[in-house]
Amino acid sequence: MHKLWASTYKEMLLISRDIGGVAILFIMPVLLLVVITSVQDSTFKTITDFKLPVLLVDNDQGEVSKSIIDNLDDSNAFEIIQIDSEDEARDAVFSGKQQLAIIIPENLSASLQEKVDKNVGSVLERFGLDQEEEKVITKDDPKHEVRLYFDPASQQSFKNSIKNGIDKMISQIEIQSIYNAFQNELGEDESEDNILFETDGFISFVEILPTKGNKEIIPNSAQHNIPAWALFAIFFIIVPLSINIVKEKNQGTFVRLRTNPVPYAIVLGGKTIVYLGVSLIQFTLMLLVGLYLFPLIGLPNIDVSGKLATLYAVALFSGLAAIGLGLLLGTIAKTQEQSAPFGSIMVVILAAIGGVWVPVFVMPKFMQLLSRISPMNWGLEAFYDVFLRNASFVKILPEISLLLLFFIVTLLISIIYNRSQNAV
Amino acid sequence: MIEIVKLSKKYKAAEDYAVRDLSLKIKKGEIYGLLGPNGAGKTTLISMLTSLLKPTSGRFTINGLNFQENKTELKNIIGVVPQEYALYPTLTAYENLSYFGSMYGLKGSSLKNSITAHLEIMGLLKFANKKTSTFSGGMKRRVNLIAGILHKPKVLFLDEPTVGVDVQSKNVIIDHLERLNQEGTTIIYTSHHLNEAEFFCTHVAIIDRGKIIVKGIPSDLVKNQEGANNLEDVFLAQTGKALRDYA
């Protein structure tokens, strides 16, 4: 025990003597968290002050284009800039000056009305109701396209959400026109007291959020980002830890330690304790940033009430998993040139397959399988369980058990590898 | 005390043995110098005797113990002073010594007293709280030595303990080693300083190409070598004057 304490104290001294290194260990993850959360915040906001500028060319100047413009306006998500030329709109979007342009074709309102009237007339005629004139539906009736231009740099998910939104809007306008046509054909006026068709959506959807007590837990960017990037920072400890071990090998102190009556496990134990402390401090700083700094800079804060112990349990076991990997890398690597780049890239890969950047469920099947063996995924899921799914300690036991197992396995491999390399 | 029987070491990538069928007996209380040109196998031999390298064949015991069966016990009775400065540069001399002393199980006042006493003898007490990165080569060598003797080892292995130091530092180191020897520590050391070895060692072995060429009491070796006035003459007569560069 005395040797373990001495090793721990030595590691503490070594880390505290490198002020620049300590600053990087603690400040950079916080900076990363603030930047990422600021960037992603608008994605999570349901009501936002930000409006996406949209170029709109209204060649129709009718009821349909008026409805489209009103709907876009009502969505509060767009700032409509009306211009006259499609060429001008296309150039602005394709050159990246604007993100989106909507071109409403000529005679859209009139054509839609004509098409609807024909359809409605045909239906009524089959029901034996007299029509003033015969309305023939032909397959050659021209289709009208609302053309969309996107900045080529736009992401597919952004394009899809815009396309879906406009598609839904146009469908609603078409349905409304059909209802109105029926109303007109049946000779009813459209006063509020005399509405034949209730056009408000009959089926709607509502998102049911998890609750804590009587309070709904509404996810925000901070609750998503703090676990994800705290985990990222915790795993980045692989780099300084592996460098620490490699440096010890290169500066000769490890040679001396090998001649001392001290097991390699004790040497690694001292490092584990200190670097675990570092990762818990990193996590604490991130929580403090989420709790106190985020509200000051206009970002959503986090709710940790009643969750602190479970959150720290996840941070602790995630830290152990990261340290296990760092110990293994440091034990195997011979130079800092091997350990530093390998460690950094490994963390990025683990983050990618762990679901830090892209949710696991949207990954290809093979990557989904791979993510199940990523310790960062276990940690992230445990954090999300606590932060967003209001899970208890028992619920996260499988994930933290896997993290602990990962630490034990990597530690054992490190010890066995060291023994095989230095056996006498 | 130390019995080496047909000890050999061949590195994986090497064509030749670094140490070949080397046998040697070192008695308790001796100061045994292992001398030889570059690449002779001195450091390889010491590395095997201190558990840093696994022999290819052969065996050895120290105080009747071997690393296969009595690893921890054996490590407790030996002290090792490696050729490189095996110190943490950002820790002070005291912190370095405190850590390495603790690894031998020393603690509390016995550790503190041992560190203070050695630092004082080595003229480093006033620098105890300075980082070793600020030390001169001679000062680092002295701290390096103390780290290997804090636990009063029965057998002390030194790999070129005075290389690259000034005359003053060398004298302090040699004086301290002689004192330790008088207190009962058996010393095995390698050196290129033949003059130093001639007067410091009770016995020497000249090693070349992994084998012992000649061994004995330095004065006897000088006496028995025709035309030799000192150990350096013996060394050159036995190993030749050709350069021994290797990579």
pLDDT band for position A32 (cuts 50, 70, 90): confident
How sure is the predictor about A123, in pLDDT bands with cuts at 50, 70 and 90?
A: confident
Residue B105 with chain A: CB contacts under 8 Å: 2-3, 261
- Show contacts of B162-168: CB within 8 Å, 24+ apart: B162/B191, B162/B193, B162/B196, B163/B83, B163/B191, B163/B192, B164/B137, B165/B137, B165/B138, B165/B141, B166/B137, B166/B138, B168/B138
- Comparing CA positions, the residue from A8, A11, A7, A29 lying closest to residue A244 is A11
What is the value of ipTM here, to two decimals? 0.85
pLDDT computed for residue A201 by the predictor: 62
Q: Which of A21-35, A178-192, B137-151 has the lowest mean pLDDT?
A: A178-192
Stretch (H or E) spanning A157:
helix A156-185
Low-confidence ranges of chain B (pLDDT < 50): none
Model confidence band, residue A46 (pLDDT cutoffs 50, 70, 90): very low
Residue for token digits 């670094």? B18
Average pLDDT over residues A160-189: 78
Mean pLDDT of the A7-20 span? 89
Yes or no: say if B85 and B145 are a contact pair by the CB < 8 Å rule.
Answer: no
To the nearest whole number, what is the mean pLDDT of chain A?
Answer: 82
**What CA–CA distance (Å, rounded) separates A312 from A276?**
12
Q: How confident is the model at residue A192 (pLDDT cuts 50, 70, 90)?
A: low
Chain B interface disruption, residue of A2, A243, A264, A424, most B CBs within 10 A: A424
With CA atoms as reference, the chain B residue closest to A262 would be B103
What are B's interface residues with A at a Cβ cutoff of 8 A? 48, 50-55, 67-68, 71-72, 75-76, 78, 80, 82, 84-91, 95, 98-100, 102-105, 107, 131, 147-148
B53–A9: do the CB atoms touch at under 8 Å?
no
pLDDT exceeds cutoff 60 at A43:
no
Low-confidence winner among A197-201, A373-377, B203-207 (lowest mean pLDDT): A197-201
Spatial distance between the Cα atoms of A105 and A284, rounded to a whole number of angstroms: 57
pLDDT for the residue numbered A48: 47
Chain A residues with CB-CB distance to B82 below 8 A: 252, 255-256, 259
**B72–A424 C-beta distance less than 8 A:** no
Judge: A2–B105 Cβ closer than 8 Å, yes or no: yes
Do A57 and A105 meet the contact criterion of CB atoms below 8 Å apart?
Answer: no
User: What is d(CA A164, CA A31) in angstroms, rounded to the nearest whole number?
Assistant: 36
Provide the mean pLDDT of chain B. Answer: 87
Least confident of A127-136, A181-190, A254-263, A325-334: A127-136
Residue A381 pLDDT greater than 60, yes or no: yes
3-state DSSP call for residue A372?
A: coil
Chain B residue with CA closest to A264: the answer is B103
The Cα B141–Cα B169 span in angstroms is 8
pLDDT of residue A74: 81
Residues near B232 by beta carbon (within 8 Å), at least 6 away in sequence = B194, B195
> Can you name the residues that pair with B92 across neighbouring β-strands?
B131
pTM (predicted TM-score)? 0.76
d(CA B28, nearest CA chain A) in Å? 21
Chain A residues with beta carbon closer than 8 angstroms to that of B91: 10, 13-14, 17
